[in-house]
């Protein structure tokens, strides 16, 4: 049986086969990565369109908030330049708090049906703590603790899994990994939307923590799906790589 037939048979057995098919077709690999790079280059040469709908009148001006959260939101920005400073354990704890669970078991993120299909992994470089430096990590939500899975590759080697974005070495690279069957078992194809929406919640929470800590960071979408999942030890699971987020000191 060919690899393509195996994938199709696997997809047909799942609760949301169309979502799974979309996911297979939208993966980045050595071939689609080249195509994506060409699209990005072509888009950069185009005149940008208006990012919103335009209507003839502005009927009701709104009052802007001036609270602490508003200030943090205004500080959020996408920055790809990182310094050589190390990341402290306190800063690391602050970043992972974006996904945490409180003592009363409440989570800081919404999830359809309370299924929480997203798991958080990370790769570190240039950490203040030698024990956490250059490691592949898994975040234990209930304990607000990290499991060290194995040593991480050097940044130049890992960078070959990223297409086509050039950037400095971050202190930490987060990965939002979905196990969609947790949600799709209940919501079927619609659950696929909920999984992606939830990944956006994780990215937004993290971006606000990055702003609060006065760090640099940005969402990194062009990563080689299967190579990263293999690096994380998830190649034989139903895991899907939703998004990566690079973060580091300024």
Domain assignment of residue 11, yes or no: no
pLDDT for the residue numbered 4? 53
Cβ–Cβ < 8 Å for 239, 115: no
Q: What was the pLDDT predicted at 15?
A: 79
What's the pLDDT tens digit per position in 225-234?
999 999 999 9
Tell whether 230 is covered by a domain.
Answer: no
Peptide bond into 26 cis (omega under 30): no
Q: What is the dihedral of CA 224, 89, 166, 212, to 10 degrees?
A: 110
Position 163 pLDDT exceeds 80: no
Looking up residue 157, the CATH number of its domain turns out to be 3.40.109.10
Whole domain around residue 207: which residue ranges?
Answer: 81-215+244-250
Per-residue model confidence as pLDDT tens digits over 179-223: 999 999 999 999 999 999 999 999 999 999 999 999 999 999 889
pLDDT at 12 over 60: no
pTM comes to: 0.89
- 10 pLDDT band (50/70/90 cuts)? low
In a domain, 231, yes or no: no
């Amino acid at each position: 049986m060919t690899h393509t037939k195996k994938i199709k048979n696997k997809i047909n057995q799942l609760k949301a086969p169309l979502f799974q098919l979309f996911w297979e077709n939208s993966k980045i690999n050595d071939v689609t990565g080249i195509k994506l790079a060409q699209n990005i280059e072509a888009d950069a040469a185009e005149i940008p369109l208006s990012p919103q709908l335009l209507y003839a009148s502005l009927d009701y001006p709104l009052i802007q908030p001036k609270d602490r959260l508003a200030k943090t939101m205004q500080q959020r920005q996408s920055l790809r330049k990182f310094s050589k400073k190390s990341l402290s354990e306190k800063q690391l704890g602050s970043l992972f708090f974006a996904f945490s669970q409180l003592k009363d078991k409440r989570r800081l993120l919404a999830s359809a049906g309370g299924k929480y299909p997203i798991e958080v992994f990370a790769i570190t470089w240039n950490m203040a703590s030698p024990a956490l430096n250059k490691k592949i990590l898994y975040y234990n939500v209930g304990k607000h603790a990290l499991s060290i899975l194995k040593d991480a590759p050097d940044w130049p080697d890992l960078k070959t899994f990223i297409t086509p974005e050039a950037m400095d070495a971050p202190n930490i690279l987060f990965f939002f990994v979905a196990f969609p069957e947790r949600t799709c078992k209940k919501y079927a194809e619609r659950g696929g939307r909920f999984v992606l929406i939830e990944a956006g919640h994780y990215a937004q929470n993290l971006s606000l923590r990055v702003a609060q800590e006065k760090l640099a960071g940005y969402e990194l979408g062009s990563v080689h799906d299967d190579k990263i999942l293999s690096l994380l030890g998830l190649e034989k699971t139903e895991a899907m790589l939703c998004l990566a987020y690079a973060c580091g000191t300024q």
